[in-house]
Amino acid sequence: MDIKDLRDGMKRVSVEAKVVEKGDPREVKSRYSDDTYRIVDAVVADETGSIKLTLWNEQIEQVNVGDNIKIDNGYITSFKGEIQLNIGKFGKLTVG
């Protein structure tokens, strides 16, 4: 699927893209427990466009700028008017 075709609310999204940007990790607290998670906002792009991708915990170390990645069973949300690609707990991230 091309990044330009992604829309808010889409589910079971499969995308192949290149990591063009990766921010600094930050910690967020769970709404449901005392757990703390590390997250990073990255930007991935294909020939049709780019989209923000949120990486959680161990995914942060797996992905570097310049890597080609594939996401299977991801989903799209909108935050502050900007659509984002999410891997979620049922999605799969493959690097390479």
Distance from C-alpha of 26 to C-alpha of 72, rounded to nearest angstrom: 25
Confidence at residue 79, expressed as pLDDT on a 0 to 100 scale? 87
Q: What's the whole-model pTM score?
A: 0.91
d(CA 41, CA 53): 6
User: Is residue 14 over pLDDT 90?
Assistant: yes
Residues above pLDDT 90, as percent of the chain: 92
- Indicate the number of domains in the chain: 1
Among 93, 96, 4, smallest CA distance to 48 is for 4
Domain with 41, as residue range(s), is 3-95
CATH number at residue 48: 2.40.50.140
